Amino acid sequence: MAKIYYQEMTPAGYRAIEEQIEALKQKRPTLITRLKAARALGDLSENTEYSTAKRELRHLESRLRYLDKQLTYAKVIDVSDDGKVALGKVVTIRFLDDQEEATYQIVGRHQAEQASLTEEVLAFDSPLGLALKGHTAGTTVTVHAPAASYQVTIITVKVR
């Protein structure tokens, strides 16, 4: 029997995927209309409008399948206030090499990938996320990143 792997995510991450799916579904009729109009122009072998519309529709359908699969295998977590770093929590850390502090919300991989550069999120399966997981405030952990290892101290762990 094959083992099913769930992808943990926050409720906000789950809602964000649902919103993306809805936006793509609303865009689909427009792309289908463009494809039909381009097909009506005639010779499909030299019809760039047709090729472009077909490629865009194929990309949209592929993205919808991917996002649907994300929701199928999603495990939405309940965030508990137990003081340990975990998915959905907000953690403030101090980098020991330069004493800089940073605050991140620990999120699922998909939510981290979709975040804007201004959002302070950290994927739970990143080297830093893995090093912090399960630890409490006051703990110093070593992060093993591909380029080097470094240490951080956990200052606070909160539920948002």
Each residue's pLDDT tens digit, 88-128: 899 999 999 999 999 999 988 878 887 777 779 999 989 99
Of the candidates 127, 119, 131, 113, the one whose C-alpha atom is nearest the C-alpha of residue 160 is 119
Domain end point (choices 53, 76, 99): 76
**CATH code of residue 135:** 3.10.50.30
Q: Which domain holds residue 52?
A: 7-76
Tell me what pLDDT residue 8 has.
82
For 38-97, what is each residue's pLDDT tens digit?
888 776 667 788 888 889 999 999 999 999 998 998 888 888 888 999 998 999 999 999
pTM of the model: 0.72
**CATH code of residue 41:** 1.10.287.180
Domain end point (choices 26, 50, 76): 76
Is 31 inside a domain boundary? yes
Is 146 inside a domain boundary? yes
Is 124 inside a domain boundary? yes
Is 108 inside a domain boundary? yes
Domain end point (choices 76, 104, 128): 76
Tell me what pLDDT residue 1 has.
59
Residue 19 has pLDDT above 80, yes or no: yes
Residue 23 has pLDDT above 80, yes or no: yes
17 or 116, greater pLDDT: 17
Residue 129 has pLDDT above 90, yes or no: yes
Domain count of the fold of the chain: 2
Residue 3 has pLDDT above 80, yes or no: no
Q: Are 104 and 91 in contact (CB under 8 A)?
A: yes
Distance CA 132, CA 91 (A): 9
